[in-house]
Structure 1
C-alpha cells in the first residue's frame, strides 16, 4: 500500500478522534472516550508506518520529518497518559496537530534521507525525542491548568474546561510529567556529553546551550515545587517558559539552517 494512503488514513483517523472528543463539548454530552482513543491508536500506528516507509526505516531528523516524528510521539504519549488519567480532552489539541505535521511532511515537504547514526547517537536521539514529547504534554496541561484557574475565578465551567479532571489532578499530572521529562532531558544532556563528539561545534552549540537553560528552568520549577510548594500561575509560567526554550533548542536552529540558509543541521 502506498505511503500516501497510510498518511491519508492516519490524518483522517486523527481528525475523527479529535472530532468525537470535541463535538460533545459543544452540546454538554459525555465524550465517547473509548471510541476516540481507539481511533487515535490506529492513527498513531499508521503514522509510524508512514515514518518507517517514507524514511526507509531510519530516524530522519531533517526539519519536517523531525516535526512529524515528534507529533507521532506526542500522540502516542497522550494515549499512554490516558490509560491512567482521564485527560482525553488533550486529544482535541494533540491529534489535529499530529495530523497537520504528518500532512506537511508527506505532501508538502521536500524528500529527505535519514543520516547514518551509530547506536550511541540513536540512544541520545531517543532520549531527546521522548523528553521533548513528555514535556510537550506537560506544557499543554499547563495551558489547560491556566484555563481551569481562569474558569474557577470567573465561575464559568463550560466547554473544554468542563471535560477536564479536577484542577488538583491536572496539576499533579503536569508535575509528574515534568519530573519524567526532566529525567529524560538529563539523560539527553549526559548522553550528548558522552557520545556526541562535536557537541559544541557551531551547528550544535546553540542547541546545547538552550537545552541546558531549559534543564535549569525545569529543575528550578521542580525544586520550587518540592521546597516551597510552587503551583498555580508561577508553575504554568515556568513550564511554558522552559518549553519555549526547549522548542528553540530542538527546532529553532533547524528552521534557520534548513529553511533559510538551505543547509543540513
Structure 2
C-alpha cells in the first residue's frame, strides 16, 4: 500500500484508538485495553512507513518543516511506548494520538521544503538522531507537566473527582516528570555537543537562533533539575520551568524552520 493511502489509514487508526482509550478512561480503567494496544500498534506501524517514505526522496533527505512532522511524532510515540513498559504514561496517549494523526497527514500531503544530502557523516547522524529523540522525550515531559499542573491545582482546591481519580498519585506523577527531564537533558546535551563538533558553524546566520534557543532550553531544564535536587523544587515551579524550556526548544526547532523555509524560502 502506498504512503498516500497509508497516511489516512494511520490517522483513522489513531483516532479510533483515542476514542476507545477515552471510553476506557471514562470507565476508570487504569491500564491500556487490548483494543487500544491493537489499534495503536497498527497505527504506529502505518505511521512508521509514512514517516520513512516522507523523509526519503530523490536528491536527499526531506527534513523540512512539514515532512519531518511524522518522523518527530513517530519518535515521540516510540519513546512513550518504551517507557510504558515501566511507567504509567498511558494518559499522554489522549494528547499524542490525535496529534500523530494530524502529523502523518501533513507529512504525506504537504509540499517539500528543506532537502539535505543522503551522504551524512556518522557524527551528523548522531546529531540529528539525538536532536529528534531529545525533542521527543522533552515533549513527553511537557505533556506530563501539564497533567501535573492540573492534578496539583485540583488537589490544592480539594477537588477529588474527575481527572484526579484517573491519575497516579501526585508524587509519582512528579517522579515520572523528572525521569523524563533527566533523559531529555542527556539527549539534548549529546545533540548540542555533537552539533559543535560536526556542524561547520553553529552560529552562522541561518543557525544562530536555533543554537541560541537550544542552549537556553538546556539551561532552563538544567536549572530545574539542579533546583529539584538541591532545593526541592516541585509542582508548579517544575511545571513553569518545564514548559518554558519546551517553548524555547520548540521555537529553536520549528520556529527557525518556519522562518527560514516558509517565510524566507531558504534552506
TM-score, length basis structure 2: 0.92
Native 8 Å contact 1:33 1:88 kept in 2 = no
User: What is the distance in 1 between the residues matched to 2:216 and 2:249?
Assistant: 8
Superposition pairs of residues 1-265 of structure 1, within 5 angstroms: 1-28=1-28, 32-56=32-56, 59-107=61-109, 109-112=110-113, 114-116=115-117, 117-264=120-267
Q: Which runs of 5+ in 1 are unaligned?
A: none
Structure 1 segments of 4 or more deviating over 6 A? none
How far has the Cα of 1:164 moved from its partner? 1.6
User: What is the distance in 2 between the residues matched to 1:251 and 1:164?
Assistant: 31
Higher alpha-carbon deviation: 200-209 or 16-25 = 16-25
Native 8 Å contact 1:89 1:160 kept in 2 = no
SS at match of 1:202: coil
User: What is the distance in 1 between the residues matched to 2:204 and 2:30?
Assistant: 53
How far has the Cα of 1:32 moved from its partner? 4.4
Native 8 Å contact 1:131 1:184 kept in 2 = yes
- Give the root-mean-square deviation of aligned CA atoms: 1.8
Native 8 Å contact 2:128 2:191 kept in 1 = yes
Provide, for residues 49-97 of structure 1, a one-character-per-residue CA deviation record: whole Å limited to 9, x for no partner.
1122233377532001122211111111121121111221110001111
User: What is the distance in 2 between the residues matched to 1:67 and 1:249?
Assistant: 15
Number of residue pairs aligned between Structure 1 and Structure 2:
263
Higher alpha-carbon deviation: 34-43 or 12-21 = 34-43
Q: Which runs of 5+ in 2 are unaligned?
A: none
Provide, for residues 210-256 of structure 1, a one-character-per-residue CA deviation record: whole Å limited to 9, x for no partner.
11111111110111111111101101100000001011111111111
TM-score, length basis structure 1: 0.93
